[in-house]
């Protein structure tokens, strides 16, 4: 590299449709095989046996199943624990085998199969397997996006005292006045402001902690969406909502996790959105049509089911399905880049800056 910037003439450049990665499915058998392979490995020093499930078109830095989202399997044998780790990434995890507990930011979460929880940025986390079976967790994070930006930061504690300092630092607040209290924001014309440096380095905080959505609580609630009658124009799911994400409607600030429950024989309408979606189908079976390609899946399969801006829809098999969907919708809202087309006859809308699409849920509210 000669150190000089490239100057590229783009005079008269015309807009082009964005490129999309093709969908890819990682089958249940392959996932189960990786769990057993990881369990056969000697325990590493930090206790982390893990495999990253990477799309064939992904390039380093930032290897993910979608361009900004990775999917990793971590395995612990009975009686094992990891060391305490933290990073500036945020993640959502579903436990897919066994049981255990996690200490995340000083909060302890006991979990069994199909429980879901989030790990906020820079929260120290340690996992323990106190059961008799292997523990296998499927974790999705925004690490690939941070690695592409060359700002991903991660570390692990080397001593008990260091671990406790990490947990303690999350609870430390500022007592007394803050510097920005003496640095007022200055209004100028048309609603604009000048903001002093003190606000830049000490923004107001929103409490964000680890939350858990236990399957024993979530499963009965899913009957509410599974039983919506034929002719419903929305999708049968609940977002696992973290109030710290506010209007971004997320589980983390980068993406939401949703759990869908469909009866048999439902075919959704084709639609598209700039946010990418990854589905873990953990019950039933069905098919998806993505950019014209038909793909069949079953319980235990993991799929990049909606590459950003690809036209797609899903259909349930005879017994319906359950799925966990990870979608970088909140990140797109924060960037004002969440474009969405609910059907291919609808206009393209910028969700979060325009009033969005409406379903006919009122017709079913009292049925």
Rounded CA-CA distance 36/349 in Å is: 45
CB 281 within 8 A of CB 298: yes
Instruction: Order the strands of the 154-156 sheet from edge to edge.
Output: 107-111, 100-104, 125-128, 85-87, 154-156
**Residues contacting 363, CB < 8 A, separation 6+:** 231
What pLDDT is attached to residue 174? Answer: 61
User: What's the confidence (pLDDT) of residue 173?
Assistant: 65
CA distance 333 to 44: 39
Nearest to 152 by CA among 106, 87, 96, 208: 87
pLDDT digits (tens, 9 = 90+) for 100-114: 999 999 899 999 999
pLDDT (0 to 100) of residue 349: 97
**Nearest to 109, CA basis, from 121, 94, 88:** 94
Point out the residues of the chain with pLDDT beneath 50.
Answer: none
d(CA 181, CA 178): 5
Tell me the domains of the chain and their CATH numbers: 24-161 (2.60.120.10), 212-363 (2.60.120.10)
Residues whose CB is less than 8 angstroms from the CB of residue 284 and which lie 6 or more positions away in sequence, other chains included:
262, 298, 299, 316, 317, 319, 320, 321, 322
Q: Quick one: DSSP state of residue 110?
A: E
For the chain, state the CA radius of gyration.
Answer: 22
Instruction: Yes or no: say if 270 and 290 are a contact pair by the CB < 8 Å rule.
Output: no
∠ CA 203-245-362, rounded to 5°? 145
Q: Are 288 and 351 in contact, with CB atoms under 8 Å apart? A: no
Residue 321 DSSP SS3? strand
pTM of the model: 0.95
User: In Å, how far from its chain's centre is CA 197?
Assistant: 32
- Coil, strand, or helix at residue 322? strand
Report the C-alpha gap between 65 and 75 in whole angstroms: 19
Contact 118, 242 (CB under 8 A): yes
Could you tell me if 285 and 298 are in contact, meaning their C-beta atoms sit under 8 angstroms apart?
A: yes
Joined together, the tokens standing for residue 126 give 């340690």
């Amino acid at each position: 590299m000669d150190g000089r910037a490239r100057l590229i003439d783009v005079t008269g450049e015309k807009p082009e449709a964005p490129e999309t990665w093709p969908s890819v499915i990682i089958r249940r058998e392959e996932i189960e095989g990786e769990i057993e392979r990881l369990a056969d490995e000697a325990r590493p020093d930090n206790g982390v046996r893990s495999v990253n499930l990477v799309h064939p078109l992904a390039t380093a830095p930032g290897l993910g199943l979608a361009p900004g989202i990775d999917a990793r399997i971590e395995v612990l044998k009975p009686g094992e624990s990891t060391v305490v780790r933290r990073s500036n990434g945020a993640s959502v995890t579903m436990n897919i085998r066994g049981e255990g507990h996690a200490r995340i930011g000083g909060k302890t979460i006991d979990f069994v199969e199909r429980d879901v929880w989030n790990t906020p940025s820079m929260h120290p986390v340690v996992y323990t397997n106190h059961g008799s079976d292997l523990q296998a967790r499927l974790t999705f994070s925004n690490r690939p996006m941070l690695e592409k930006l060359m700002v991903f930061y991660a570390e692990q504690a080397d001593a008990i005292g260091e671990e406790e300092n990490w947990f303690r630092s999350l609870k430390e607040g500022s007592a007394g006045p803050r510097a920005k209290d003496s640095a007022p924001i200055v209004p100028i014309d048309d609603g604009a402001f000048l903001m002093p440096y003190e606000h830049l380095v000490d923004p107001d905080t929103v409490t964000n902690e680890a939350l858990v959505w236990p399957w024993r609580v979530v499963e009965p609630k899913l009957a509410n969406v599974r039983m919506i009658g034929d002719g419903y124009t929305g999708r049968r799911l609940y977002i696992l909502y973290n109030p710290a994400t506010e209007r971004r409607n997320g589980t983390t600030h980068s993406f939401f996790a949703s759990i869908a429950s469909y009866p048999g024989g439902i075919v959704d309408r084709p639609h598209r959105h700039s946010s990418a979606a990854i589905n873990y189908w953990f019950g039933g079976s069905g098919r998806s049509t993505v950019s014209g390609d038909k793909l069949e899946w079953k319980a235990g399969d993991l799929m990049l089911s909606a590459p950003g801006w690809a036209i797609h829809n899903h259909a349930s098999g005879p017994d319906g399905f359950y799925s966990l969907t990870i979608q970088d919708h909140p990140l797109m809202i924060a960037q004002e880049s969440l474009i969405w087309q609910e059907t291919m006859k609808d206009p393209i809308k910028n969700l979060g800056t325009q009033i969005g699409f409406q379903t006919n849920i009122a017709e079913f509210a009292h049925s």
